Structure 1
Amino acid sequence: MTHEHPPIPDGQGDAHEAALRKRLRERALTHRQAMPAERRAQLTLRIARHLDELVARLQPDTLGFCWPYRAEPDLRDWVQGWLAARPGRVASLPVVLERHAPMTFRAWTPGVPMPLDRHGIPHPADGVEVQPELVLVPLNAFDDHGYRIGYGGGYFDRTLAVMRTVAVGVGFEAGRVPDTFPQPHDRPMQWLVTEAGAFEARPRNQLADRNMR
């Protein structure tokens, strides 16, 4: 499912793109939150199968993921299965320590204390800091080049800028769009995983793309 966008008027690129990004975010969130829970669960099972294939290929021993938020795919059962499949694996969750700084990842296992952060999202109260080899990043709207539209806080962009990891965007296929109008600081995913499969992101020449508009 994709959506076409109107051309950007000359001289209004930045403001117009910001408005388009906001619209794409709201559309993706509205669609996802309106999806029946049973349908989301079915699609999440398909996503899990594709994640199985991708992690079997990439073979990480340390993994970062996100607690489900605003009807995102719930990967907790999948992560627990991944942990149980081989001793020594470590899963972790992101923790926001400072508002405009990169996030920290802390080790997670079922049952650890999980207070709510400022956004109401559970996170490990303490624990070992982890540098995950692979991070599962939630997608709202996203494009084939691996660029995503998150919630506007820039947390993952700041984190991925300083972390050596494989970024795997995970979301529902309905969020795929022709263009997310990435900003210069946006960090693309290397892989995208939806109910339709696991896809390696296609490189994008941002400067050339912008000059063609």
Structure 2
Amino acid sequence: MSQKTSILSKANLEPAEAKAACRKLAAQNRNHLAASQTDAVALLATHAERLIDRFGNGIYAAYSPIRSELSPFDLLARLAGLGCATALPITPAEGQPLRFHRWAVGDRLDDGPYGTKQPPADQPLCRPDVILAPMLAFDAAGWRLGYGGGFYDRTLAVLRGAGHHLSAIGIAYDGQKLDKIPVGPYDMPLDAVLCPTGLFTPVPPQN
């Protein structure tokens, strides 16, 4: 963690440069966590009831994991078993928000861009009440470090701008937490982060 923190502390780095530097180290760190914490997926699913208690029994949209992302599928299956509807995104063209389609664990997945898997396009569209988002890293204030495509930030801005109330919850290993994430002008903070050890509530920085 100290190596990543030192990168973020360099005053001469612009946010975009700091993010690019941080992504490389955060990806290496997540690869190590994924290889060493083989029980993380099952532990994540044990917190389904806690999510429902706090965020309700609506539509939960997750993601199909790529690279070393922590898989939300056991959690999604548990949420469905508790009466929640579930969904996955279809990745759009660059610059567009994600589109969410109803999907349940065990249903068919088609190939998507960037090595992703996604539900068939003929499945019903939906507007999720909760978005479970993957990440490279997060910090105590709830800022999320993604891959740089801006899909999740754009999606949250569009849905909330249209008056739709929803919560954004990051999915991460506990060890993905950094001291500080570099923030850009269009970044959207998370409402919570769910880790194998439990639900983390961000604390906004004091002015």
TM over 0.5: yes
Mapped contact 2:73–2:105 kept (Cα < 8 A): no
Cα deviation for residue 18 of structure 1 reads: 2.5
The within-5 A match list for 1:148-159 is 148-159=144-155
Q: Report the alpha carbon displacement of residue 185 of structure 1 after superposing the two structures with TM.
A: 0.4
2:162 aligned residue: none
Query: In 2, are the aligned partners of 1:113 and 1:125 still within 8 Å (CA)?
Result: yes
Please report how far the alpha carbon of residue 36 of structure 1 lies from its aligned counterpart in structure 2 after TM superposition: 5.7
Give RMSD over aligned pairs. 2.1
Does structure 1 residue 102 correspond to structure 2 residue 97?
yes
Q: How far off its partner does 1:21 sit?
A: 1.5
TM-score by length of 2: 0.86
Write the distance in 1 (CA, Å) between the matches of 2:96 and 2:57: 25
2:130 matched residue in structure 1? 134
For 1:67, what is the secondary structure of its paired residue?
coil
| CA distance 1:24–1:13, shift in 2 (3 Å) | closer
Contact in 2 for aligned 1:51/1:198 (Cα 8 Å): no
Equivalent residue for 2:143? 147
Distance change in 2, residues 1:46/1:112 (3 Å): closer
Closer/same/farther in 2, CA of residues 117 and 36 from structure 1, 3 Å limit: closer
> Structure 1 residues 44 and 178, CA, compared in 2 at 3 Å: closer, same or farther?
same
Task: Summarize the alignment of residues 52-63 of structure 1 with structure 2, pairs less than 5 Å apart.
Answer: 52-63=49-60
**TM-superposition CA deviations, 1:89-118 (whole Å, max 9, x none):** 310101123221111100002443321111
Partner residue in 2 for 1:173: 174
Checking the alignment, whether the CA contact within 8 Å between 2:76 and 2:105 is kept in structure 1 is no
TM-score by length of 1: 0.84
Q: Kindly, what percent of the aligned residue pairs are identical?
A: 25
Aligned match for 1:85, one of 82, 87, 102: 82
Quote the residue 1:162 is aligned against. 158
Q: In 2 relative to 1, CA 83–42 (structure 1 residues): closer, same or farther, beyond 3 Å?
A: same
Matched pairs, number = 199
Q: Secondary structure at the match of 2:115?
A: coil
Q: Which amino acid aligns with 1:32?
A: R
How is 1:24-43 mapped onto 2 (pairs within 5 angstroms)? Answer: 24-35=22-33, 37=35, 39-43=36-40
Shift of 1:32: 2.0
